[in-house]
Amino acid sequence: MEPILVIGAGLAGCEAAWQIAKRGGSVALFEMKPHAYSPAHHSPYLAEIVCSNSFKSESLVNGPGVLKEEMSQLDSLILRTARETRVPAGDSLAVDREAFSQQVTRTLEGLRNVEVVRKEVATLSREDMTILATGPLTSEALSREIQRLTGDHRLFFYDAISPIVTSDSIDFERGFKASRYQRGGKDYINFPMDQETYDRFVDALNRAEKVSFREFEKRFFFEGCLPVEELAARGKDTLAFGPLKPVGLIDPRTGRRPFAVVQLRQEDRFETLYNLVGFQTRLKHEEQKRVFRMIPGLEKAEFVRLGSMHRNTFIDSPRLLKESLQLKGHPYLFFAGQMTGVEGYLESAAMGLLAGINALRVVRGMDPVVPPPSTAIGALVHYITHSQASPFQPMNINFGLFPPLAGKVRGREKRGLVAKRALKELEKWIRTCEV
Domain ranges for the chain, please list them. 4-155+314-433, 161-309
Top pLDDT among 216 and 343 is at 343
| CA-to-CA separations, 284 to 174, 222, 288, 308, in angstroms, rounded | 26, 20, 6, 8
Q: How confident is the model at residue 219 (pLDDT cuts 50, 70, 90)?
A: very low
* Least confident stretch, 65-69, 339-343, 369-373: 339-343
Question: Could you tell me what percentage of the chain is helix, strand and coil, using 3-state DSSP and rounding each to the nearest 5?
Answer: 40, 20, 45
Note the pLDDT of residue 213.
Answer: 58
169-201 residue pLDDT tens: 999 999 999 887 766 566 789 999 999 999 999
263-304 residue pLDDT tens: 998 876 668 789 899 898 889 999 999 999 999 999 999 997
CA angle 362, 368, 369 (to 5 degrees): 155
The yes-or-no verdict on residue 340 having pLDDT over 60 is yes
Q: Which of 100-109, 221-230, 314-323 has the highest mean pLDDT?
A: 100-109
Q: How confident is the model at residue 138 (pLDDT cuts 50, 70, 90)?
A: confident
Q: Do the domains 4-155+314-433 and 161-309 sit in the same CATH topology, yes or no?
A: no
How far apart are the C-alpha atoms of 382 and 388, rounded to whole Å? 11
| Rounded mean pLDDT, 308-319 | 80
Amino acid at 72: S
What CATH number labels 4-155+314-433?
Answer: 3.50.50.60
Q: Give, as one character, the DSSP assignment of residue 246.
A: -
Q: Is 116 helix (H, G, I), strand (E, B) or coil?
A: strand
| Rounded mean pLDDT, 392-406 | 84
How far apart are the C-alpha atoms of 80 and 136, rounded to whole Å? 23
Q: Closest by alpha carbon to 55, among 397, 346, 348, 398?
A: 346
The yes-or-no verdict on residue 379 having pLDDT over 80 is yes
Note the pLDDT of residue 407.
Answer: 75
Note the pLDDT of residue 223.
Answer: 58
How far apart are the C-alpha atoms of 195 and 175, rounded to whole Å? 16
| CA-to-CA separations, 188 to 164, 178, 179, in angstroms, rounded | 14, 5, 6
State the pTM of this model. 0.75
How far apart are the C-alpha atoms of 151 and 144, rounded to whole Å? 10
Note the pLDDT of residue 215.
Answer: 46
Report the mean per-residue pLDDT for the chain.
89
Top pLDDT among 108 and 135 is at 108
Note the pLDDT of residue 254.
Answer: 94
How far apart are the C-alpha atoms of 139 and 5, rounded to whole Å? 17
Burial class of residue 417 in the structure, from the number of CB atoms within 10 Å of its CB (0-12 exposed, 13-18 middle, 19+ buried): middle
Whether 341 contacts 384, CB under 8 Å: yes
Q: How confident is the model at residue 251 (pLDDT cuts 50, 70, 90)?
A: very high
What CATH number labels 161-309?
Answer: 2.40.30.260
